[in-house]
Structure 1
């Protein structure tokens, strides 16, 4: 089968297509003939050497999510059969024509979705649900500030928060205003020309928001904390702006406002944690995907062999929603 590999860490140009054997199945695995493969920022970090030659449970190939058709079924698999359309999270190995996935991290694709659309679901929606509902416990009637709201996880988070009945503040660049408002944001904030802390304070009468979902990291830390209401919760999902900054955590606000701060990543979590995350999302939201309440957001798609171009697109920061890879012959799926 064709897969994307790299012999040394570096820029997108190190990614090359190469024929390798199909992965062997373990008892709980499905072998999936991939129709769409999600590109994630963790893949860029992998390519650059942030994880070394790490192995995350399924393969040392990069790639965290797939959608496709079941080609083989392991002897201990339950609930799936040959030919089923599935989507889900893998511990590496997505950048290939075939991937193995533990069936407990797989989901049936609703009939209303194409396999291409399904490729834009698993990683972003499961991560957004985990950050916003499982950890930060967002409730209907509360307010949430979501940064990087035009990205894959950000666009999913805005949709989920809106569907849950929360008031949504969302930051992104001005050229993405219409898209983010279309996802369900109540107040769009252009991070380049507006101070999100000031906007939140003005819009909430100085109260602040109940939840912050942050992908930026250190540069936003102090302002995020100052934007939280009493009893507020923040989940840090990414570090697009870096991990170290001169801004300091306002410990007094953390103490007197009874705030809680969480961090979450998916790539390096144990399989049983990923399974639980997937199942929590599926139980609450698969029906909303089926009826169109939630919709996968696709920025662009590239042939699997041209993974380098997909990485370059992500590195521009111009994308809205998911970037996908499509194996040869699967474009019509």
Structure 2
């Protein structure tokens, strides 16, 4: 479980709090809410008192709602516009999903993405692309949340090093973080 926390946890923390400045009572739309980063972002946003809307595929619904999201949008079957206005969009998907999400951001809101710099800006809002930064204090806070049970990273799969390419291929559909086992010298 420890391997599932550092990068995913820091991305979720920095995206929500350092860049989007998510606050209690705000509404956040989290794309990829069942994935390694999205699942942690969903839990952190819920814990801070935000209204969380998670997105993913139909199979992700129960996982996302179990993490604290108040509602779920199936990106393959539902109309994303049904979400209404949000204060924050947290994106780990990119492409058309990110482009369609910018129209949902209310005035003064923020789109945060880790995929690519956004090509579309929300009207009267901000769009931010960032690369995670190491932060010892944030990582210590995340680790404490795991120890006390307030945060539960999801390990979706543990794969040997030889299967790295397949583990992260386009057809990968495992909720949570995929962990690659190091080669051990016996």
The two structures share one fold, judged by TM-score above 0.5: yes
Q: Which has the larger radius of gyration?
A: 1
Find out whether 1:215 has 2:95 as its counterpart. no
1:280–1:264 distance in 2 versus 1, CA, 3 Å: farther
Q: 1:317 aligns with which of 163, 172, 179?
A: 172
User: How large is the RMSD of aligned CA atoms in angstroms?
Assistant: 2.3
CA distance, structure 1, for counterparts of residue 80 and residue 163 of structure 2: 37
Find out whether 1:235 has 2:112 as its counterpart. yes
Q: SS of 2:168's equivalent?
A: helix
Corresponding position of 2:43: 159
Q: Would you say the 8 A contact 2:4–2:155 is kept in 1?
A: yes
Corresponding position of 1:261: 127
Q: SS of 1:262's equivalent?
A: strand
Mapping for residues 35-50 of structure 1, pairs under 5 Å: none
Specify every segment of 5 or more residues in structure 2 that has no aligned partner in the other structure, as ranges: none
TM-score (norm 2): 0.88
Find out whether 1:297 has 2:154 as its counterpart. yes
1:222–1:323 distance in 2 versus 1, CA, 3 Å: closer
Task: Note the C-alpha offset of 1:193.
Answer: 1.1
CA distance, structure 2, for counterparts of residue 179 and residue 304 of structure 1: 27
1:180-223 Cα shifts (integer Å, max 9, x gaps): 111111111011111112x212xxxxxx1110011232413443
Specify every segment of 5 or more residues in structure 1 that has no aligned partner in the other structure, as ranges: 1-116, 202-207, 267-273
Task: Note the C-alpha offset of 1:298.
Answer: 0.5
Q: Would you say the 8 A contact 1:305–1:327 is kept in 2?
A: no
Larger helix fraction of residues:
2
Bigger relative contact order (CA 8 A; separation at least 6): 2
1:279–1:327 distance in 2 versus 1, CA, 3 Å: closer
